[in-house]
């Protein structure tokens, strides 16, 4: 049986009906793209392999339980699972994404140019916490682009390829993310003043 002529949807059906070759062909077909997308985000070979394996364990469990219904969209579905696992990893590690201003300065570093008092340090630490909390409130696709751009330092072309959208969509999501963060910051400032 030549599985290379099967489309992804047929391979999923084959696997679900008990033929392991369906999953093996899907893995052969998509492994490098999925692994590379994870590696570009975590920049660590062993960690990328672990996350890749975790992603496929989730895929297998979902397929076996009969909960898969992404008709004809196998690769974007697996990529979404992998990216969510990467974001979960960063959350667990409490790694702060680097947010840069338009002139390339790290926003967090701009907050302390001079010797600061204990009060100023507390305020800066609170601002870091507030910004991290606000980032987590963003819609998933905006948060994903923001983290990929500023934490993983990917280009918009790489982000577009990894998330399977056009460069304009990736740029738009970034614009919305920054706009939403600005609105949240303004609201927070109003709360402090009010």
Q: What is the pLDDT of residue 107?
A: 46
Task: Identify the band that residue 144 occupies on the pLDDT scale cut at 50, 70 and 90.
Answer: confident
| Tokens found for residue 173 | 């999501």
**For position 117, what pLDDT does the model report?**
61
Q: Compute the average pLDDT of residues 40-63.
A: 90
Task: Give the Cβ contact number of residue 186 at 10 Å.
Answer: 10
Q: Using the predicted structure, report yes or no on whether residue 95 has a pLDDT greater than 70.
A: no
The tens digit of pLDDT for each residue in 67-87 reads 888 776 888 889 888 988 888
Dihedral angle computed from the Cα positions of residues 33, 35, 38 and 43, in that order, rounded to the nearest 10 degrees = -120
Task: Supply the DSSP string of 70-122, one letter for each residue.
Answer: -TT-HHHHHHHHHHHHHHHHHHHHTPPPP-B-TTS-BHHHHT-SS---HHHHH
Mean pLDDT (the chain) is 79
Q: pLDDT value at position 54?
A: 94
Q: What mean pLDDT do residues 12-39 have?
A: 90
Average pLDDT over residues 18-44: 88
**pLDDT of 129:** 73
Q: Using one digit for the tens of pLDDT, what is the confidence trace for 152-167?
A: 667 888 888 888 889 8
């Amino acid at each position: 049986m030549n599985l290379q002529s099967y489309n992804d949807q047929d391979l999923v059906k084959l696997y679900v009906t008990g033929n392991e070759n369906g999953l093996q062909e899907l893995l052969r077909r998509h492994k490098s793209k999925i692994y590379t997308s994870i590696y570009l985000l975590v920049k660590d070979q062993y960690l990328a392999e672990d996350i890749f394996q975790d992603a496929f364990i989730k895929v297998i469990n979902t397929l076996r339980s009969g909960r898969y219904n992404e008709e004809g969209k196998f690769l974007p579905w697996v990529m979404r699972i992998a990216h969510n696992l990467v974001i979960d990893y960063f959350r667990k590690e409490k790694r702060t994404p680097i947010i840069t201003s338009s002139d390339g300065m790290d926003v967090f570093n701009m907050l302390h140019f001079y010797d600061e008092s204990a009060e100023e340090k507390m305020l800066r630490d609170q601002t870091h916490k507030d910004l991290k909390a606000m980032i987590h409130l963003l819609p998933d696709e905006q948060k994903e682009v923001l983290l990929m751009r500023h934490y993983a330092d990917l280009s918009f072309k790489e982000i577009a390829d990894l998330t399977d959208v056009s460069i304009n969509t990736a740029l738009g999501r970034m614009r919305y993310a920054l706009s939403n963060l600005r609105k949240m910051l303004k609201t927070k400032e109003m709360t402090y003043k009010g």
